[in-house]
Amino acid sequence: MIDQAMTFLDWFGVVVFATTGSLAAARKRMDLFGFILLGTATGIGGGTIRDTVLGATPVFWITSPEYLLACVAVSSAVFFLAHIPQSREALLLRVDALGLALFAVLGADRTLAMAGGPVAAVAMGIVTATFGGVVRDVLSGESPGILSREVYASAALAGASMFVLLHEGGAGREIAVIVGFSAAAAIRFGALHWGWSLPRYGARGADRANEVVSS
């Protein structure tokens, strides 16, 4: 039951990131093949680095090529439908938040299943959740958003940590998945809606004084 649900979530995450990749292609006014390439790279990027680093090779899309076909289908659909949403930018950010939350939990879960410890599982959750977006940004010639945006990777950190804590603490895997996913998604949606951000370096007195001196 839970394994089927995890497989469904995995599919959902791939489809969601394939959508954000092809929405980025829409913003750059690429051709159909650019949509497919960027959508697929974004959809499978996080899982590819996860499997490679864990040594779970050949990676998942070699043994389960239906993930590739799903990315192609989704990206093609976006090519013909992306003009419909009122605001592509807002849609992209919201869809991306779902993928971030899903892959944070799934990356941590896969690492625990392969006998990685809790710290490695949290780190891998963050990597899996953010790497697809890094690939998307680099391939489309944008500066990677992962470090410059409002609360982003820290939402993945929170979700993955919550999942690992509950999972290792003996709560069922179902509950750990639901709470971890909800925590990450809620934090990222909150950040998008209310513009949450952490205090930046250099907003402190000492540094401001330095700036006055050096200017």
Contact residues for a second copy (CB under 8 A)?
Answer: 25-26, 28-35, 37-38, 40, 48, 52-55, 57-59, 61-63, 65, 68-69, 79, 82-83, 111, 114, 116-120, 123-124, 126, 134, 138-141, 143-144, 146-148, 151, 153-154, 157, 197-204, 206-207, 210
CB of 72 to a second copy, least distance (A): 9
CB of 184 to a second copy, least distance (A): 14
Q: What is the DSSP letter of 115?
A: T
Tell me the torsion sign for CA atoms 72, 74, 77, 79: negative
When the beta carbons of 1 and 29 are compared against a second copy, the nearer one is 29
Angle between the 32-54 and 88-113 helix axes, to the nearest 10 degrees?
A: 20
Whether a cis peptide bond, with omega within 30° of 0, leads into 58 is: yes
When the beta carbons of 34 and 46 are compared against a second copy, the nearer one is 34
When the beta carbons of 55 and 170 are compared against a second copy, the nearer one is 55
When the beta carbons of 90 and 175 are compared against a second copy, the nearer one is 90
CB of 18 to a second copy, least distance (A): 13
When the beta carbons of 126 and 166 are compared against a second copy, the nearer one is 126
When the beta carbons of 9 and 134 are compared against a second copy, the nearer one is 134
CB of 45 to a second copy, least distance (A): 11
CB of 163 to a second copy, least distance (A): 16
- Can you tell me which residue has the tokens 């394994």? 3
DSSP conformation letters of 117-186: -HHHHHHHHHHHHHHHHHHHHHHTTPPPGGGTSSS-HHHHHHHHHHHHHHHHTT--HHHHHHHHHHHHHH
With beta carbons less than 8 A apart as the criterion, state whether 71 and 45 touch: no
With beta carbons less than 8 A apart as the criterion, state whether 40 and 18 touch: yes
CB of 42 to a second copy, least distance (A): 12
b/e sequence 123-144, b meaning 16+ C-beta within 10 Å: bbbbbbbbbbbbbbbebbeeee
